Chains A and B, each alone.
Chain A
Amino acid sequence: MQRWRFSLYKHMDIDLIFKIAAIGIIVSILNQVLSRSGRDEQATMTTLAGLVVVLMMVAQEIADLFTMVKSLFGL
């Protein structure tokens, strides 16, 4: 059975969590500034854009995890 050989330290990259937290803080500040200045639509779009950027990063990580589990357990 073919087993998944993986570089664990690539996946144990804690920087990704810090990146997500930083994007979250920036997006929430932008959201506050835009909504206080009466630009609610732009605030929503900013939040949505931030969410999509982070979602793309997370999707890659989840795909890697699922591929690894599939290979390891022979699914």
Chain B
Amino acid sequence: MELLFKAFAGAIITVILVTVLSKQNKEMAVLAVTVACSMIAFAAMNYLEPVIQYFDRICAVSELDPLVIGALVKSVGIVLLAEITGHICSDAGNAALGKTTQLLATAAVLWLSLPLFGKLMVLIEQALVNT
């Protein structure tokens, strides 16, 4: 839990620093925010790692197709990175770039889910044949 409080404190300190810095040097303020965001994301990954390992264990125990959980986990990773990137772009005043990044992430997630849709189609076909 120490890490959590450290991250919160770091975020508050960064906001104060960036508020002062952005009046003098906006580029440096954006870079400082980027570093702070990446540090907090590192902290978040530290908490997410056991969760993903737990997903793997559930997948192994329930004999689920790794494709299902794999696509889900990959989608979470892509969306996380896209959110961070998009918000940094938006904060720097480039909302269009941020939105486009999120569009790219959506496209990538759809592309990742294509095998799942394929499996769903096969399942529907089998159900229709059996009825």
Taking Cβ atoms with an 8 Å cutoff, the residues of A that contact B are 1, 3-4, 6, 8, 11-14, 16-18, 20-21, 23-25, 27-28, 31, 47, 50-51, 54-55, 57-58, 61-62, 64-66, 68-70, 72-75
Contacts and interface: CB of A to CB of B under 8 A. Distances in A.
B27 interface: yes
B114 interface: no
B39 A20 contact: no
Which bracket fits the contact residues of B? 35 or more
Interface of B: 3, 6-7, 10, 13-14, 17, 20-21, 24-25, 27-29, 31-32, 34-36, 38-39, 41-43, 45-46, 48-49, 52-53, 56, 70, 73-74, 76-78, 80-81
A68 B14 CA distance: 23
Interface of A is mostly: helix
A17 B49 CA distance: 25
Closest 8 CB pairs of A and B: A73-B77, A24-B28, A28-B24, A11-B42, A24-B25, A65-B38, A28-B25, A20-B32
B28 A62 contact: no
B73 A17 contact: no
Contacts of B25: 24-25, 27-28, 31, 47
